[in-house]
Structure 1
């Protein structure tokens, strides 16, 4: 005699209201306007990326194979801090993740090297796995089959701070984007801001607090 278990399985029905379309800013004017709203500039990010990318030239044939990527990462963190830390930004380390933090705007920015940047049809993936500290910070957990959409519950801020990542690929293309972490990687992005190529960064004079120092001609007077 065959017995049939009684009890209906509940289907998970996914509707359009469960998902929010990702915000992608690619036009320079709209990206610059967004950056200005968080007390940042495109040149600060591009210059940090430019200096960090140059650090891979320190790798020799005697270094480990991943040395170039390691050098870039470890240079990107201090360069972001050098160029940002001052009146609005401070350095922070939380759960092993290195940030710059803007308390007034409630924003934290970290860094990650990724496989590709600046392409709408491709979501950047980090070159290394992201640990539990990053996943907790970003409140991850969304489906990965819709790269330009984010599960609505993940868009809702579960933290006091919004966390962005400065992303750069090995060609120097950069983004400032807000990822969601699941399964130790960036699964999708509620928001992406295309910064362009770090080669477009312009060197300026900065003091030790990260503020821009204007060039000036000293006045020399005769006695």
Structure 2
């Protein structure tokens, strides 16, 4: 397949640590952001809107990323309404995203649609339709946009995706951070776009 390269997948601890350091990040800082997002998601109750867990987690995930890394090299970036941290020296942006499943065989899918601004930030769609999961053109260069991706059970990866049709269609690079999740612990309708119209709270008289 001339002109195409296989998606880079890093899951061994030493490879992960080395690559994260190359990106100007720390694994502890990324894991702290994951844990902060998970804690915030856990604050959602049946009384909240159906997408509350995902919304809470997203807000705290972005805030925690910034708290962990902004300083001499990393700054807050909100270009086109996409909330990230940016490192001009390394040519990187990092955002936060709730996904269906992190660290699986297939590249994750976002729990909510990605807009045109995110698609522009991640670069044009460069995948062969028959090889969406594993290959990307070797001319996929430019600003590197990564997402810290977290699923409902706490699995997490740092991944440079490609976006097409408002969703992720494969990835240039995937770095597994937390490959084990709690399968028995899920939060309420993570980023569910539905409404809670059918929910009727019970009122108990004292």
Q: TM-score, normalised by structure 2?
A: 0.82
User: Aligned pairs, how many?
Assistant: 179
Residue equivalent to 2:113: 129
User: Contact (CA 8 Å) 1:163, 1:178: kept in 2 or not?
Assistant: yes
Structure 2 matches for 1:107-186, cutoff 5 A? 107-119=92-104, 121-141=105-125, 142-146=127-131, 147-153=133-139, 155=140, 157=141, 159=142, 161-186=143-168
Shift of 1:144: 4.4
Q: For 1:39 and 1:29, how far apart are their aligned partners in 2?
A: 16
Residue equivalent to 1:29: 14
Q: For 2:137 and 2:23, how far apart are their aligned partners in 1?
A: 25
Residue equivalent to 1:212: none
Q: For 2:180 and 2:79, how far apart are their aligned partners in 1?
A: 27
Kindly report structure 1 stretches of 4+ aligned residues shifted beyond 4 Å.
none
Q: Per the alignment, do residues 144 and 116 of structure 1 end up closer, same or farther by CA in structure 2, a change over 3 Å counting?
A: farther
Listed one character per residue, the Cα deviations across residues 162-195 of structure 1 (whole Å, up to 9, x for unaligned) are 1111111111111111000001100010111001
Shift of 1:60: 2.1
Shift of 1:198: 8.9
Q: For 1:54 and 1:26, how far apart are their aligned partners in 2?
A: 25
Shift of 1:56: 1.5
User: Contact (CA 8 Å) 2:128, 2:135: kept in 1 or not?
Assistant: no
Q: For 2:123 and 2:55, how far apart are their aligned partners in 1?
A: 26
Residue ranges of structure 1 left out of the alignment (5+ in a row) = 1-15, 200-223
Residue ranges of structure 2 left out of the alignment (5+ in a row) = 182-206
Residue equivalent to 1:190: 172
Please provide the CA RMSD for this pair: 1.5
Residue equivalent to 1:101: 86
Shift of 1:196: 1.2
Q: Could you say which structure has the larger radius of gyration?
A: 1
Shift of 1:57: 2.3
Q: TM-score, normalised by structure 1?
A: 0.76
